[in-house]
Structure 1
């Protein structure tokens, strides 16, 4: 008797009525909107963090809350896209495994765009969520790879929309046309599904957006940062210990601020504190999506530049005491350097800076990513 060979397991069969073009179109357009917001705000963030050479000297310093809003939207739209993407994949799952795999050039183009679109979308959301938690289990640098795959995602999305445009148009409205007629009795089920998806999007947004939208801070259940938690009532990403900064007394004794320019000079902390002090209320906003406003006081950077006779168009390079780190050295264009709200801050909420907030001095500037608000500043160099 011939032994019976084990049967190859088959893919799950979905016969539900909501695995159709209408459901895919409705969820797809919501997902596309979230991805578009995420891409545009991510592009803004990348330009502010890594400005190209030609606009670097003139990036705007106003509105002061600009980066706070754009990066908050970036993280919020990315989180909202997660349930939308899962629902979209659920709606189109049966069509991802149709046979034959390729029927024509147009079909091959469609399949290619879908493969790249799904892979890049999953990669962007997955790595973005882990970046919010500051966990990097991969060997590559997050920022350049996330930025590059973002362009890949947008390119594959536009290609997919171009290929699927006739079908999207046919199923855009409530009364769909075309070869795939949708039974009227499916309407209540579809509305229930979309209501559940909307509730999921609203829930994940509400319980995470409080890290940047302060009226929602009491609902900030799943976000890794709370705007009111941390030394001196403000969160920190990089501590003094992680940066290799020594004890406060040791730092105070040996710290000097060196300003290089046409008339270079050096200041002790007491000499810096004896200069005219300014007080400003500015938000600090980080790429992970959290932000909070605080009262800072210190010396205006433009006063330090005027003392060294720097030309009005000069950029500056700021160097930190920290021993290592991707943002140990940063550059600031003339717009930010000359803004009266840009400080070399010495105090936070009226108190001397804590070591984790950059004691003895740090940069605070309007409309600027938190990673560029350099802590433990020891050198200003006129470029």
Structure 2
């Protein structure tokens, strides 16, 4: 006898749960997640939870804003991860020394897309916040978990953009944590929540972005008269178009009025940029002064010596000895994580020459560069072999033909191509060379 299934013919068969304990656990979890939750008493349905508290929102608008925001966050995450790996390189990571402007470009894009995301996130939250007050708040545990993921995504996005703006402005008082560490780990949590959210909402987004295009295509094919597609698309939902246009204009204005701290031709209209790349000692900005680093006395000491330690033993060089070595001049940018960058003409001793002086091969040498600064997160940095061997990597003694200003690292500082400003160690007192 043939048994008929009650399942409709067009409904795909669900995969059977595996047999054994694992299958029983899976079925139990699924059953628990789908159990209805108690509905809160109706008297609690007040304020934003009351019926009709908000006007309608366009699903298409929400999907379009989400797509734009997802692209911006994706670019931000990739460029931010790259910056973090350069500053804290794991053993497998490799970063080239050329082109010299590469980090300047990637970090400029990171900060620019982060700032442009602010109005996009604001418009996105405006388009979806009525859904945060649906009634009942959650019908099942599965829905409650999904809403919890959305809350984590929103909190992570707000944290990333807010802390990023504070870092750009160098305002660390509101952040009782080390910015780099907090920003890095919350970025992973935010991107994870974003991927989960996208996977859940993908069918809704596909329908929202595809339905109108399909309807418009059908009208064009069926209509006996020509249809102005642009007019139809705009007149169908003018509110959606206005929100998108406003968010786009705001993102563009923020970008144009800040990116000039990296893109020199736009510097005159960068009225919102916290840094002017031409303002500072010797025409370059300074993040940390000698006074702030506590090195004014030690850096100005006439008895200063640079100690270079390597396989052939230590070598101690005073300023006269450093100036007596062959001098080289390069043009390199200072590119800071806050998004600003500026080029300078630097003169000094090649790092590879100092490495060879202590009997090491520059192509295999890792150099620990230590500052006279006591403490701090960036009181030292390590120069990897690609940069050690590069002829553009200097222990600089002059900037634009003048002896280094104290705030720029006098008596000697590191300057290397394609490297974050926080790793261009100032007030260098010791070099420790080891071969890989």
Regarding TM over 0.5, the answer is yes
Q: Which runs of 5+ in 2 are unaligned?
A: 1-42, 216-232
Partner residue of 2:171 out of 124, 130, 135: 135
Counterparts in 2 of 1:380 and 1:285: CA distance versus 1, 3 Å: same
Q: Distance in 2 between matches of 1:7 and 1:314?
A: 68
Q: Distance in 1 between matches of 2:297 and 2:405?
A: 11
Q: Distance in 2 between matches of 1:221 and 1:102?
A: 46
Conserved? CA contact 1:106–1:163, under 8 Å = no
Conserved? CA contact 1:171–1:177, under 8 Å = no
Q: Distance in 2 between matches of 1:310 and 1:15?
A: 70
Aligned with 1:172: secondary structure?
Answer: helix
Q: Distance in 2 between matches of 1:53 and 1:74?
A: 24
2:356 is equivalent to residue 302 of structure 1 = no
Conserved? CA contact 1:261–1:308, under 8 Å = yes
Per-residue deviation at 1:156? 0.4
Instruction: Out of 6-15 and 286-295, give the one that drifted further.
Output: 6-15
Name the structure 1 match of 2:24.
none
Q: Distance in 1 between matches of 2:145 and 2:62?
A: 19
2:59 is equivalent to residue 21 of structure 1 = yes
- What is the TM-score when the length of structure 1 is the normalising length? 0.92
Partner residue of 1:255 out of 304, 309, 313: 304
2:260 is equivalent to residue 210 of structure 1 = yes
Per-residue deviation at 1:54? 3.1
Partner residue of 1:243 out of 293, 310, 316: 293
Conserved? CA contact 2:234–2:241, under 8 Å = no
Per-residue deviation at 1:270? 1.0
Q: Distance in 1 between matches of 2:190 and 2:45?
A: 34
Pairs within 5 Å for 1:35-184: 35-55=73-93, 58-104=94-140, 106-136=142-172, 137-173=174-210, 175=212
Name the structure 2 match of 1:3.
none
Q: Distance in 2 between matches of 1:95 and 1:26?
A: 17
- What is the TM-score when the length of structure 2 is the normalising length? 0.81
Partner residue of 1:332 out of 363, 368, 383: 383
Q: Distance in 2 between matches of 1:239 and 1:184?
A: 54
Conserved? CA contact 1:317–1:381, under 8 Å = yes
Instruction: Out of 135-144 and 359-368, give the one that drifted further.
Output: 135-144
Query: Over aligned residues, Cα RMSD in angstroms?
Result: 2.2
Instruction: Out of 168-177 and 125-134, give the one that drifted further.
Output: 168-177
Q: Which runs of 5+ in 1 are unaligned?
A: 1-5
Counterparts in 2 of 1:277 and 1:208: CA distance versus 1, 3 Å: same
**RCO higher in structure (CA 8 A, sep ≥6):** 1
Q: Distance in 1 between matches of 2:46 and 2:419?
A: 54
Conserved? CA contact 2:47–2:53, under 8 Å = no
